[in-house]
Amino acid sequence: MSKTLLKIKQTLEIVADDNFDNVAEPEEKPACDILHHRKCSDISEACLGDYIEIDLGSYGTFTATAHQINDKNVMFIFDDCVTQMPMQKDETVFAANWAYTSLSKWLWGPFRSSFPSWLEKRCVEVNIPSVAQIFGSTADERLPLMRSMRYRIAEWNGGPTIYWLRDVARILDLRTVCFAYVGAYGDADYDNASYSYGVRPEIWIAK
């Protein structure tokens, strides 16, 4: 097992026993008040916890919350899943890397094609969250808002659901790759890439 796979496996084993009931201590909270989930009217001035609404045409209209901000871009994670699908549709294809999965290709293809024009022009990256972003053990890894259970749980069709993460968690053989996921109630685990789970997009938008 590679060092990367071993680290992911150890992380999943650790967080499986963690009920995540505790929110970060006051000194660990971001500068802006994350308890006020404000609608963002100007992405260039977005704060952590602000949200935008995105009309994805036939997929519906969704909210996405700002989870990371730098000098040039803001990273938004959709609050809920936009659909459900396998990580890898074709089981005969060995996709042991997120970039080569059918889900990754769908995000950069049909999903991105559904963006309104303003988002298409400003979107610089399309992804799904990682194990480190959701469950990381250090402040540098874990996104600040993900210390709160309400930001880790996502819904689909009106109820909490499992959603994929982009990390390979286990390789069983040349046809069976398992990817990590977040459980319906915020726990961590992994499953066969051919199973159909929720898709919770992560997008970077230029300021």
Write down the domain spans for the chain: 3-32+79-199
Rounded distance, CA 103 to CA 80, Å?
17
The predicted-structure confidence for 39-82, as pLDDT tens digits, reads as follows 998 999 999 999 999 999 999 999 999 999 999 999 999 999 99
The predicted-structure confidence for 159-195, as pLDDT tens digits, reads as follows 999 999 999 999 888 778 999 999 999 999 999 999 9
Q: Which H/E stretch holds residue 26?
A: none
Range with the poorest average pLDDT among 27-36, 37-46, 91-100, 136-145 = 27-36
**Dihedral, CA of residue 14, residue 15, residue 17 and residue 22, to nearest 10:** 130
Q: Quick one: which of 87, 134, 80, 131 has its CA closest to 107?
A: 87
Structure pTM? 0.84
Residue with tokens 């991105």: 112
